[in-house]
Amino acid sequence: MNRKQEIILWVGLIIIQLMIVFPPVGRPDVSSESTDRTLGRSTVIGWIGNYGVITRDYKNINFVMLTAQLLIISAVTGGFIYILRTTKQQEDGH
């Protein structure tokens, strides 16, 4: 593993840790008649989304969104590590 791959790996791990400490949280939107448009409000699923702290908002964690975020970051990190690999050509005498 070369230096660039190590940096990408550490950045990916730090981002994953931050996403776990500050997970996406949501609560049902009970005021659907309201004219105020809250940022992160989803009209489709009826949830108001935000980011919280895991020790305070652990009851309202949106696990589907958190799982999707973790998978995307893992795939991007793995892709960058794969792209930045160094190819060693082995000479086997042929």
Q: CA 25, CA 43: separation in Å to the nearest integer?
A: 16
Q: CA 13, CA 33: separation in Å to the nearest integer?
A: 42
Phi and psi, residue 51, nearest 5°:
-120, 135
The H-assigned helical ranges of the chain are 3-21, 63-83
- Residues 48-59 pLDDT 10s: 667 778 777 778
Buried b (16+ CB within 10 A) or exposed e, 42-69: eeeeebbbbebeeeebeebbbeebeeeb
92: pLDDT strictly greater than 60? no
**In the chain, % of residues over pLDDT 70:** 67
pTM: 0.68
